[in-house]
Amino acid sequence: MAEPTTVSSTSPALDVKTPEQPAGINKLAGPATWVDDRLPLASMFKYKNKANFYVKKVFPDHWSFLLGEIALYSFIILLLTGIFLTIWFKPSMAEIEYEGSYQLMRGLPMSEAFASTLALSFDIRGGLLVRQIHHWAAMLFVASATIHMLRVFFTGAFRKPRELNWLIGVGMFSMSLIEGFAGYSLPDDLLSGTGLRFVDGLIRSIPLIGTWAEFFIFGGEFPGDLVIARLYMVHILLVPALLLGLVVAHLALVIYHKHTHYPGPGRTDRNVVGYPFFPIYVAKAGGFFFIVFGVSILMGATMSINPVWKFGPYNPAQVTAGSQPDWYMGWVEGAIRIMPNWEWHLAGTTWSWNVVLPGMGLMGLLFGVLGAYPFIEAWITGDKNEHHVLDRPRNVPNRTGLGVAGMTMYSMFWLAGGNDILATQFKLSLNQVTEFMRIAVFVAPVIAFLITKRICLSLQRADAERVLHGSESGVIERAPDGSYSEAHVPITNDEAFTLTQHEQYPALQAGPSLDANGVRNKGKGVSALRARASRWYFGQEITKPTAAEIEQAKHHADEDESTKALGH
Amino acid sequence: MRFLTSKRRHKAAKPVLLALALLLTGLLYAAMSPAARVSADTGNSALVAEGDGLFKVACASCHGLNGEGGTQGPSLIGVGAASVDFQVTTGRMPAARPGAQLPRKTNTYTAEEIEALMAYVATLGPGPARPAPAQYDPAGLTEEEIARGGELFRTNCSACHNFEGAGGALPNGKYALPLKGISGEHIWEALRTGPQQMPVFNASALPDEDVRAIVGYLEELHATPSSGLSFGGLGPVAEGFFAWVVGIGSLVLFSVWIAAKGARAK
Ligand code: HEM
């Protein structure tokens, strides 16, 4: 027989519970409390809490740190406006007869992609505005990523421990070019079709596998009938997803490494001086997002971009003067425009270097050099320290010079991409512009390097001068003997610190080529090549004043004052 | 009738008939092919004489005393009145100094003087006459026909003149001119006479209906409001320039402003 179970009269389940009645004002806080009971939001904003580690994260304040934010916000704008465009855009190359409301295309045969772009522009409310915002934001996205990258380069922010984040940046940069190109090609208009034809040529120029690769990508011979659908997948799924992932990783690494700061009193490689993320940067960054959005909308509303209805539907039999890609592909276009016609004819085959070298070769070179630079520089300097204080570009003359040289070369290719526009706008000869550019792409960077390096060194010299002798007061004094001199006022200690805080490293010395046992010292120590590179890199630096020199200069100045009183 | 039957076997009948037939064909041909109308009618002799005079003063130094051409200018035999009208009203002729390309200038001739020059050059040899409005005026074309004009323009002209007719560069300092604001008459004349680097598009390549469609397309295209500032129809190069100058320029200024704003944090 079963025992009767003991029934507890005090089970909590039997308690009649009356919910706590919130007091009058707490009613308003109801939703906040509801959320707070479930997510650790409120506690994130409290000090001495583990989660507020992120919210109270300190960011230094400088305008150049906002350039990356422009890229981030324009990416968000692209996602928002892009979603709107996907609602109406038809990624199909099927041919139809246009029946829409743009009269100058009435009855023309065109692809559905082009017809839907016309519909977006003329028949869908706000469609043209969104298209223009999307396109301007795309231009701003790549441009802001570029200047952000230049800031990181010139300030040495890519040094240890941030090399990986630099690589992520290079990845995002290259992907944004693909993203932009794929988007540009979608409307299937005459200009973008010409651009696609250009890329088709690039692909076909790859030795041996070119034709095969073309057939693979276009599903047959150019233009085929499925490349738009494929590009659409690349443009709205593949690359945005990759970009989004990389953006998240990029920002996570910024938080993990902490932001760098510019040199100044109290700023070291072991701290960050700035304001907390919350509330200061949330407000500033939030505000800045709306500014970027506002500028994109204003541009979209007042400045025409990619008026595809003027270009007409793509037709392989047509090509128009002024066929250019968007700016970020312009340098490749330029390289191909100025490349001499180099071809090999070997045993009945043609090897055409005039497209593959400037096209594929140059893109590979740019991204290769960008990716490798932090490691090359570390190899030259032998610097294995962590850096959280940024370099002032003048204190690293060779890096700054190389950066400006690279920008100059890029700009020359870029200008060459618009050689016809230069010719018509400035009344020049197309041939002369082209020939000039052929030389300029090699000579201008060298000149730019030399000039930049000289400027950096003079600025260093001026800094040393200022530390030792103070700043010019603007007061001219005449001595009793008739000579004139300008009085100098000593600079503040803070400024003197900023001007002298940078490390100056000795060049690496080559190790002995034979070790103690007379065996060749291969792979160990510093090679002769590396020592030479290092000597070149550190060679002409202006040695910054030492503490003793500053002390002495001060002493000297005091003496000057007293001798002046005696009539000098 | 008797007259005809009796003289039918006359010695001169055959040549006269032949001459009559030729005359008839010639008249028919002249009537049906307006582009090759010969305007050498004698009622114009005063005009022709005036033109000859003007020609001797301003043109003969290059084109020869009788328009036969010389080292400085080509022969004008057979270029037709259309060519003269185009060259002189657009100020290209009389040419000033030789360059990569003779430029458009302001025309200094009155309409009557041009009329006289045209009449004179037309006497040198048959060539395209000045067109009648029906040959270039797009009035009465349907929207579909004008849209087809756009297709014709993009196929035949945009390679040199750009998709919007904004002009473009050609090798060795030469250039194709912008087409905005060019009259239908001048477009017709340019096509039929092919000034300088421009190829001739004759009536078998591009019949008058096609020219009208192209003129209609260009007129409507240039009258269509643009979707914002359009930077002279120069395309992506200008867009990229403005993305950097206006877009990045203003955003960098905003960055400086935001970073300079002091934080009021506790
Ligand atoms: C991340 C960087 C992105 C860049 C650089 C970029 C760039 C471009 C460009 C240059 C165009 C040509 C626009 C035109 O003139 O019509 C375009 C079109 C388009 N984009 Fe993007 N885009 C980006 C992201 C996105 C995203 C995330 C989406 C969707 C979720 C998207 C959807 C579209 C669509 C549907 C079109 C075709 C619209 C049309 O035909 O007008 N884009 N894009």
Q: pLDDT (tens digit, 9 = 90+) per residue, A326-347?
A: 999 999 999 999 999 888 888 8
pLDDT of A53 strictly over 70: no
More confident residue, B139 or B16: B139
Cβ contacts of A155 within 8 Å, gap of 6 or more: A64, A260, A262, A390, A391, A392, A393
Centroid of chain to Cα A235: 20
Stretch A538-543: mean pLDDT, rounded? 81
Stretch B35-47: mean pLDDT, rounded? 59
pLDDT of B266 strictly over 60: no
Ligand 1 atom nearest residue A116's Cα: 40
pLDDT of A567 strictly over 50: no
Three-state DSSP class for residue A246 = helix
Q: How many CB pairs under 8 A join A and B?
A: 212
Å between A267 CA and nearest CA of chain B: 18
- Identify the pLDDT of residue A568: 44
More confident residue, A313 or A561: A313
pLDDT of B38 strictly over 50: no
Cβ contacts of A50 within 8 Å, gap of 6 or more: none
A276: in domain: yes
Three-state DSSP class for residue B263 = coil
The residue ranges of DSSP E strands in A140-268, in sequence order, are none
- Identify the pLDDT of residue B265: 39
Stretch A214-235: mean pLDDT, rounded? 93
Kindly report which listed range (A109-123, A234-248, A319-333) carries the lowest average pLDDT score.
A319-333
- Identify the pLDDT of residue A154: 97
Å between A521 CA and nearest CA of chain B: 52
- The CATH number assigned to the domain holding A193 equals 1.20.810.10
- Identify the pLDDT of residue A7: 52
Asked if omega into B171 is within 30° of 0 (cis), the reply is no
- Contact map slice: A 173-192 vs B, CB within 8 A: 190-191
A459: in domain: no
pLDDT per position as a tens digit, B226-249: 888 887 778 899 999 999 999 999
Q: Does A426 lie at the interface with B, CB-CB under 8 angstroms? A: no
- Identify the pLDDT of residue A505: 83
Q: How far apart are CA B34 and CA B126, in angstroms?
A: 11
Three-state DSSP class for residue B65 = coil
- Identify the pLDDT of residue B34: 45
Q: Does A323 lie at the interface with B, CB-CB under 8 angstroms? A: yes
A15: in domain: no
More confident residue, B228 or A436: A436
pLDDT of B56 strictly over 70: yes
The correct answer on CATH 2.30.40.10 for the domain covering B45-122 is no
Kindly report which listed range (A250-254, A348-352, A380-384, A394-398) carries the lowest average pLDDT score.
A348-352
- Identify the pLDDT of residue A541: 77
Q: How far apart are CA A41 and CA A37, in angstroms?
A: 9
A226: amino acid identity, one letter: L
For atom 7 of ligand 1, the residue with the nearest CA is A180
**How many domains is chain A partitioned into structurally?**
1
pLDDT of A508 strictly over 50: yes
Stretch B57-80: mean pLDDT, rounded? 88
Q: Residue A61: which of B169, B228, B259 has the nearest Cβ?
A: B259
Chain B nearest-CA residue for A334: B237
pLDDT of B100 strictly over 50: yes
A335: in domain: yes
Stretch A517-539: mean pLDDT, rounded? 79
Q: How far apart are CA A105 and CA A97, in angstroms?
A: 9
More confident residue, A257 or B25: A257
Partners of residue B217 in chain A, C-beta under 8 Å:
104
pLDDT of B6 strictly over 60: yes
Question: What CATH number does domain B133-227 carry, 1.10.520.10, 1.10.760.10, 1.10.510.10, 3.30.390.10?
Answer: 1.10.760.10
Picking from B153, B155, B255, B266 by the largest number of A CB atoms within 10 A of its own CB, the best residue to mutate is: B255
A515: in domain: no
Stretch A268-296: mean pLDDT, rounded? 87
- Identify the pLDDT of residue A85: 97
With CB atoms and an 8 Å threshold, state whether A63 touches B256: yes
Kindly report which listed range (A1-10, B48-57, B107-116, B121-130) carries the lowest average pLDDT score.
A1-10
Ligand 1 atom nearest residue A243's Cα: 1
Q: Domain residues for A324?
A: 66-391
A461: in domain: no
pLDDT of A165 strictly over 80: yes
Q: Residue A66: which of B148, B242, B259 has the nearest Cβ?
A: B259
- Identify the pLDDT of residue A501: 87
Q: How many residues does chain A have?
A: 568
Kindly report which listed range (A149-163, B23-37, B118-132, B169-183) carries the lowest average pLDDT score.
B23-37
Of the candidates A117, A132, A153, A562, which has an alpha carbon nearest to the alpha carbon of residue A376? A153
Residue B133: is it exposed, middle or buried by C-beta count within 10 angstroms (0-12/13-18/19+)?
exposed
More confident residue, A10 or B105: B105
With CB atoms and an 8 Å threshold, state whether B234 touches A106: no
Ligand 1 atom nearest residue A308's Cα: 15
A51: in domain: no
Picking from A424, A425, A430, A436 by the largest number of B CB atoms within 10 A of its own CB, the best residue to mutate is: A424
B101: amino acid identity, one letter: Q
Q: What is the mean pLDDT of chain A?
A: 88
Stretch B186-211: mean pLDDT, rounded? 92
Q: Is A82 in the pocket of ligand 1 (CB under 6 A)?
A: yes
Q: Does A67 lie at the interface with B, CB-CB under 8 angstroms? A: yes
% helix / strand / coil in chain B, to the nearest 5?
55, 0, 40
- Identify the pLDDT of residue A511: 75
Q: Is A193 in the pocket of ligand 1 (CB under 6 A)?
A: no
- Identify the pLDDT of residue B43: 57
A56: in domain: no
- Identify the pLDDT of residue A1: 46
Kindly report which listed range (A437-446, B26-35, B115-124) carries the lowest average pLDDT score.
B26-35
Query: How far does residue A82's CA lie from ligand 1's centre (Å)?
Result: 5
B119: amino acid identity, one letter: A
Q: How far apart are CA A342 and CA A437, in angstroms?
A: 17
pLDDT of A56 strictly over 80: no
- Identify the pLDDT of residue A299: 96
Stretch A419-442: mean pLDDT, rounded? 91
With CB atoms and an 8 Å threshold, state whether A288 touches B255: yes
With CB atoms and an 8 Å threshold, state whether B163 touches A311: yes
- Identify the pLDDT of residue A15: 56
- Contact map slice: B 195-254 vs A, CB within 8 A: 217, 220-221, 224, 226-231, 233-244, 246-248, 250-252, 254
Helix orientation angle between A528-538 and A362-381, rounded to the nearest 10 degrees: 90
Confidence of residue A23 (pLDDT cuts 50, 70, 90): low
More confident residue, A327 or A473: A327
Å between A558 CA and nearest CA of chain B: 37
Confidence of residue B5 (pLDDT cuts 50, 70, 90): low
Question: Where do the domains of chain B lie?
Answer: 45-122, 133-227
pLDDT of A122 strictly over 80: yes
Q: Does A284 lie at the interface with B, CB-CB under 8 angstroms? A: yes
What share of chain B has pLDDT > 90, as a percent? 40
Stretch B45-60: mean pLDDT, rounded? 89
